[in-house]
Amino acid sequence: MAAASFTAAKFLVPVAARSGGERAPPLPPVGASSSSFARTLRRGGGAHHHPRLRTALAVSSDLVAGNKAAQAAATHPAVTREEALEVYEDMVLGRVFEDMCAQMYYRGKMFGFVHLYNGQEAVSTGFIKLLNQADCVVSTYRDHVHALSKGVPPRNVMAELFGKATGCCRGQGGSMHMFSAPHNLLGGFAFIGEGIPVATGAAFAAKYRHEVLKESGPDGLDVTLAFFGDGTCNNGQFFECLNMAQLWKLPIVFVVENNLWAIGMSHLRATSDPEIWKKGPSFGMPGVHVDGMDVLKVREVAKEAIERARRGEGPTLVECETYRFRGHSLADPDELRKPDEKTHYAARDPITALKKYIIEENLATESELKSIEKKIDDVVEEAVEFADASPHPPRSQLLENVFADPKGFGIGPDGKYRCEDPKFTQGTAQV
Per-residue pLDDT of the chain (431 residues; tens, 9 = 90+): 444 456 556 666 454 433 333 333 333 333 333 333 333 323 333 333 333 333 333 334 333 344 444 344 456 668 999 999 999 999 999 999 999 999 999 999 998 899 999 999 999 999 999 999 999 999 999 999 999 999 999 999 999 999 999 999 999 999 999 999 999 999 999 999 999 999 999 999 999 999 999 987 888 999 999 999 999 999 999 999 999 999 999 999 999 999 999 999 999 999 999 999 999 999 999 999 999 999 999 999 999 999 999 999 999 999 999 999 999 999 999 999 999 999 999 999 999 999 999 999 999 999 999 999 999 999 999 999 999 999 999 988 888 888 888 889 899 888 999 888 888 877 666 65
User: Is domain 78-389 classified as CATH 3.40.50.970?
Assistant: yes
pLDDT at 157: 98
Q: Looking at residue 241, what is its pLDDT? A: 98
Give the domain ranges of the chain: 78-389, 395-421
pLDDT of residue 393: 94
* Long-range contact set of residues 271-277: C-beta below 8 Å, sequence gap at least 24: 271/230, 271/233, 271/234, 274/55, 274/56, 274/59, 275/55, 275/56, 275/319, 276/230, 276/233, 276/317, 276/319, 277/10, 277/12, 277/56, 277/317, 277/318, 277/319
> What integer pLDDT is reported at residue 402 of this predicted model?
87
What is the per-residue pLDDT for 426?
A: 74
pLDDT at residue 6, rounded to an integer: 64
